[in-house]
Amino acid sequence: MLDLRPVGYVIGLLAAIFGATMLFPLFADLWHGNDHWPIFLESSLITTVTGALLALTCAGGVRARLTTQETFLLATGVWSVMPLFGAIPFLLGATEATAVDAIFEAMSGLTTTGSTVFINLEDLPHGLLLWRSMLQWFGGVGIIVVAMVFLPELRVGGMQIFRSEAFDTGGKVLPRAAAIAAHISVIYVGLTLLCHLAYLAVGLDGFQAINHALTTLSTGGFSTSDASFGAFQGAPEYVASVFMVLASLPFVRYVQIMAGQARAFLKDAQVRGFMWTIFGLVAVVTAYRILANGDHAEHAFREGLFNVTSIITGTGYASVDYQLWGGFPVVLFFFIGLIGGCAGSTCCSVKIFRYQILFGSVVRQIRAIHSPNGVFVQHYDGRPVDEALISSVASFFGVFVLALGVISVLLGMTGLDFATAVSGAATAIANIGPGLGSTIGPAGNFAPLNDTAKWILTAAMLLGRLELLVVLVLFLPRFWRV
């Protein structure tokens, strides 16, 4: 029999802390004079007590070391259980959400997806808006820890190339996770504060600034109004663009910069590839807006920069409905959403390093079929890339595309049209936020979807956030054998 206590203990502990953080939205409601605050007291009590009881029950089985099996269960467990607790304020609160809507919204928060089923956001109590933003912020820091500790160790989808950069604590995963979380938290909090100040400087009020800082650094994309960033056109779009990019770079590099090693950051192949990709895409979109739509230069550049950055980083803020720009941007934005940012950041999707390795592999293949007797060694970031790594990256890519297909077909089965089904699957599995079409597009909302579609999307967000394989491994029969 599998001993689930070590996993239950960590989840219980996290839930207890999670419940305590519900006091922040409680104070936000009190501060703004909303009489909505008691629901956070209830939610907090339920969550903290349940978490504490779980931790106490499991405390007897705690060990310093987690097995591989337990590590997988922990990752999937955290992102399956926390959304249930996170949904409680939506169930009890002013949103009066159904179970599926509450869980969808909490999952969309904790996976940093940012698709929303709530409308008239402006009318929600401050506490609930803050809670949505906090879910994304917690999800963001959580995923950085997972990406820096668990995935390289578990060799998921080629993440093993970042192994040497992970913090070494002698194989003990939990102490390592705590150490990394501490380092990362300092940076994450610092950048969030900087972002908050910058938003204040360009005219957002205090509440808007803190909410958008929380959802920018987590590349989450929840906003405080239905218009998303449409309410903040102009300078705030530049601020958001800068911080969305900062949130998409490998956080380990910031730790190194703090330690005086800026060189590694500047030479990082992932960072360079990502910046050049953004540069190229912004140039193309800006040119298109000027030449095809007759837009004026600053406006074209600003909207191009903001929307390209928002989609490629997977943040998913919308400042305009780019579907009105013509066919080209729509198709382009669909595909750049499948690129994603750097590994080791809050970004999801396929990620830039996998494309770099895939592209290198394709060039090597082409060379090899041209010169069958030649020996071609592929390099990435100065290190040789072996066939095992390529097949690991490629399998990830394959499973990503296959999952995209399966989820699209399932969504189609619930009655969605082609663009909604395919873009809905993509936006969920890549944790972006908006899809395409009139329903779930940048100007739309996920509220009108049927419940089955919402459940499918909820599962897809979880699957995508944990790089698919972490979840799929649980479906291996041998996983459950001791």
If binding is defined by CB under 8 A, does position 390 make contact with a second copy? yes
Residues numbered 425 to 444 that lie near K ion (CB under 5 A) are 433
CB 163 within 8 A of CB 243: no
CA-wise closest residue to 153 among 180, 178, 171, 174: 171
Q: How far is CA 53 from CA 64, 118, 186, 220, 473, in A?
A: 20, 32, 30, 31, 29
**Crossing angle (nearest 10°) for helices 23-31 and 38-58:** 170
348, with CB counted inside 10 A (0-12, 13-18, 19+), is: buried
User: Which segment (4-12, 46-54, 220-228, 414-422) binds a second copy by CB under 8 A?
Assistant: 414-422
> Least distance (Å) from a second copy to the CB of residue 383?
17
> How many other CB atoms sit within 10 Å of the CB of residue 125?
22
**Crossing angle (nearest 10°) for helices 173-201 and 206-217:** 140
If binding is defined by CB under 8 A, does position 330 make contact with a second copy? yes
Distance CA 376, CA 355 (A): 19
User: Which segment (105-113, 135-143, 184-192, 391-399) binds a second copy by CB under 8 A?
Assistant: 391-399
DSSP 17: H
User: Which segment (4-12, 78-86, 213-221, 255-263) binds K ion by CB under 5 A?
Assistant: 213-221
Given its phi and psi angles, is residue 97 left (phi above 0), alpha (psi -120 to 50 degrees) or beta? beta
If binding is defined by CB under 8 A, does position 452 make contact with a second copy? no
**CB proximity list for 129: less than 8 A, separation 6 or greater:** 121, 207, 211, 224
CA-wise closest residue to 76 among 480, 476, 477, 469: 469
Distance CA 179, CA 175 (A): 6
> Least distance (Å) from a second copy to the CB of residue 329?
8
Biggest CA pair distance of the chain: 76
Q: How far is CA 85 from CA 26, 60, 103, 336, 371, in A?
A: 16, 24, 9, 33, 58
Shorter beta-carbon distance to K ion: residue 7 or 141: 141
479 binds, among K ion, a second copy, none (CB under 5 to 8 A by kind): a second copy
Shorter beta-carbon distance to a second copy: residue 329 or 344: 329
Shorter beta-carbon distance to a second copy: residue 97 or 410: 410
Shorter beta-carbon distance to a second copy: residue 51 or 157: 157
Shorter beta-carbon distance to a second copy: residue 43 or 361: 361
Among 57, 261, 293, 365, binds a second copy (CB under 8 A): 365
Radius of gyration of the chain (CA): 22
> Least distance (Å) from a second copy to the CB of residue 13?
25
CA-wise closest residue to 155 among 72, 76, 77: 72
Among 25, 316, 435, 441, binds K ion (CB under 5 A): 316
In 348-405, DSSP assigns E strands to 378-380, 383-385
Among 17, 368, 376, 450, binds a second copy (CB under 8 A): 368
408 binds, among K ion, a second copy, none (CB under 5 to 8 A by kind): a second copy
If binding is defined by CB under 8 A, does position 171 make contact with a second copy? no
Which residues are paired to 383 by β-bridges?
380
Task: Tell me the site size for K ion, rule CB under 5 A.
Answer: 5
Residues numbered 265 to 304 that lie near a second copy (CB under 8 A) are 288
Shorter beta-carbon distance to a second copy: residue 57 or 450: 450
User: Which segment (5-13, 19-27, 189-197, 400-408) binds a second copy by CB under 8 A?
Assistant: 400-408
Among 20, 186, 324, 331, binds a second copy (CB under 8 A): 331
If binding is defined by CB under 8 A, does position 7 make contact with a second copy? no
Shorter beta-carbon distance to a second copy: residue 219 or 361: 361
Supply 395's token pair. 């399998």
If binding is defined by CB under 5 A, does position 337 make contact with K ion? no
If binding is defined by CB under 5 A, does position 109 make contact with K ion? no
Among 19, 157, 221, 437, binds K ion (CB under 5 A): 221
Q: Which segments of 171-319 does DSSP mark as H helices, in order?
A: 173-201, 206-217, 235-247, 251-258, 263-267, 269-291, 297-312
If binding is defined by CB under 8 A, does position 387 make contact with a second copy? yes
Among 170, 171, 372, 382, binds a second copy (CB under 8 A): 372
Q: Which residues bind a second copy (CB under 8 A)?
A: 68-69, 72, 154-157, 288, 326-332, 334-335, 338, 358-359, 361-372, 386-388, 390-392, 394-399, 401-402, 405, 408-409, 411-423, 436, 469, 472-473, 476, 478-479
